[in-house]
Amino acid sequence: MESQIEFAGLMPHAPVLIPSVGGRTFPRVQATAEAMDTVARHALAAHPETVVIISPHSPRKLGSFGLWYTQRLRGSLEQFGAPDETVDLPLDRAFTECIEVEAGLRGLSTWRITRRELDHGALVPLHFLALRGWDGPTVIVGLDMPQEGGLDEIGQAIGAAARGLKRRTAVIASGDMSHKLTPEAPAGYDPDGHRFDDAFVGLLRKGAFGEISRIDPALQERAAEDVVDSTRVALAASESRPEGHHEVLSYEGPFGVGYCVAILYEREGNGAPEGAPEGPAGKRISRLEDLPEVARCAVETRLGKGPDAPPFFAEGEAAARAGVFVTLETAAGRLRGCVGVMVPNGPDLVRETWRMAVSAALSDSRFPPVEAEELPGLRFSVTVLGAVEPVASVAQLDPAVYGVVVSAGDGRTGVLLPALQGIDSVDRQLSIAREKAGIAPDEPVRIKRFTARSFKERPDGPHGGYAGAD
């Protein structure tokens, strides 16, 4: 019988991914939040009749999987300082009861979670789904104790319930990666934290889903992760079918905890979300000199309430992955916005530029959001970063050639691009980078450098045109 699982995704569950909780630190996880919105759009584009969340933070009992069984699925992020961030969804009672039956057929024990508020493992993914309009029947599945087994079987029970009810279903695994990436991480530091994250993300990128169950349990424990079990359940529910689409959308660990966002399974033929291009459609972008056109189009499109994805197809140089900064300036040369990423999250430079352009125009906290009537007077530039490398001394810096990354021990980081007007000394460059990150002049820092290529619009070209690389 054909599976009814139309979509499976992975979302982290850190409350800081929601702006009202993250506050001033939210820009540091904005890439993850945007990737979660992408998962929500794709999940709902599959037109599910039921959404199933696998939460590692739901209450647990020895030897048994928990199934939420309340009339409404309710909760808020009040304990994280955001009481207005709430979820209130109907329970899919028939689906939940069907999972109970199917689990029993597979030798599994289940128990009903009643009279409790939802945990943040369920709340955070549901927040992003609700923002995209989800208000339908929902199921929340909790896990048994670590290393007790039964993960594939409970996933198979979810898939069987969807088939038995003929219910189009989207499954979301909730999970964070290692909690030990830095000395300031919540669980302390362990170098194996990065080793686990690299291995897990690598398997997702390759689609080597069967190998996830063979990750060393001792490594999982040292990494202090809670992502493997929920991901295995979601993959088993979707039957890990190779013909479907899978993609890692984002990975970062700005607070010492790894956040990975991924599409685990998307049925071929479901199509992209409304307004997004399907496949290699639209203009082909192969030259880096054309990226300013992509940036301008992104902002014009967003201000016109158009699609969230670029109507371009990346090839050649533009199909590479690299860090990108997008800068907006007035005709008089005054800065109007600049946002970027050092580590790429998108699959190519076109999508990275598209995302950074929207952030530069609308989310640079130093400036009010750009208005549509401003666009004709603004000039766009796109900077593509080279490799980032540590420096042994400031003698290895040159503001005309290298940009800098200045980092304090607690993760505060300031970035400054190379060849900026008015910055003609290393001391000035480092001072501004410190100021941007709120790092005092006498605080010890780590310094890295990078090269970059910048591409600007021409003032006399259509929509500014481009002036080529600096």
What is the structure's pLDDT at 155?
A: 96
What is the structure's pLDDT at 271?
A: 47
CA distance linking residue 370 with residue 385, whole number of Å: 25
* Predicted confidence band of residue 279 (pLDDT cuts 50, 70, 90): very low
Question: Which burial class, exposed, middle or buried, applies to 384 when counting CB atoms under 10 A from its CB (0-12, 13-18, 19+)?
Answer: buried
Q: Give the CATH number of domain 283-469.
A: 3.30.700.20
* Pick from 62-71, 112-121, 305-314, 321-330: least confident: 305-314
Distance from first CA to last CA of the chain, Å, rounded? Answer: 59
What is the structure's pLDDT at 387?
A: 85
* Pick from 121-135, 261-275, 382-396: least confident: 261-275
Domain positions in the chain = 5-266, 283-469
More confident residue, 28 or 171: 171
- Complete edge-to-edge strand list for the sheet that includes strand 110-113: 110-113, 65-68, 138-142, 50-55, 169-174, 5-11, 259-266, 245-252
Question: Which burial class, exposed, middle or buried, applies to 191 when counting CB atoms under 10 A from its CB (0-12, 13-18, 19+)?
Answer: exposed
* Predicted confidence band of residue 278 (pLDDT cuts 50, 70, 90): very low
* Predicted confidence band of residue 281 (pLDDT cuts 50, 70, 90): very low
Is 60 exceeded by the pLDDT of residue 52?
Answer: yes
CA distance linking residue 22 with residue 12, whole number of Å: 14
**CB-CB contact of 326 with 382 (8 Å):** yes
Per DSSP, the residues of 148-213 read ---HHHHHHHHHHHHHHHT--EEEEEE----S-SSTTSTT---THHHHHHHHHHHHHHHT-GGGGG
What is the structure's pLDDT at 163?
A: 94
What is the structure's pLDDT at 340?
A: 87
**CB-CB contact of 245 with 238 (8 Å):** no
Q: CA distances (Å), 401 to each of 266, 333, 430, in order?
A: 44, 21, 14
Q: What are the structure tokens assigned to 407, written together? A: 């980092």
What is the structure's pLDDT at 225?
A: 96
Segment 389-406 shows an average pLDDT of 92
135-186: pLDDT as tens digits: 899 999 999 999 999 999 999 999 999 999 999 999 999 999 999 999 888 8
What sign does the CA torsion over 57, 61, 66, 68 have?
negative
The answer to whether the predicted template modeling score (pTM) of the entire model surpasses 0.75 is no
Buried b / exposed e over 350-379, threshold 16 CB at 10 Å, is bbbbbbbbbbbbbbbeeeeebeeeebeebb
CA distance linking residue 25 with residue 420, whole number of Å: 26
* Predicted confidence band of residue 311 (pLDDT cuts 50, 70, 90): confident
CA distance linking residue 279 with residue 282, whole number of Å: 9
Segment 26-43 shows an average pLDDT of 90
**Average confidence score pLDDT of the chain:** 88
- pLDDT above 90 as % of the chain: 66
CATH class of 5-266: alpha beta
More confident residue, 8 or 116: 8
Helix then strand then coil, % of the chain, to nearest 5: 35, 25, 40
DSSP state of 328: E
H-state helical runs in 189-307: 192-206, 217-223, 228-237, 291-303
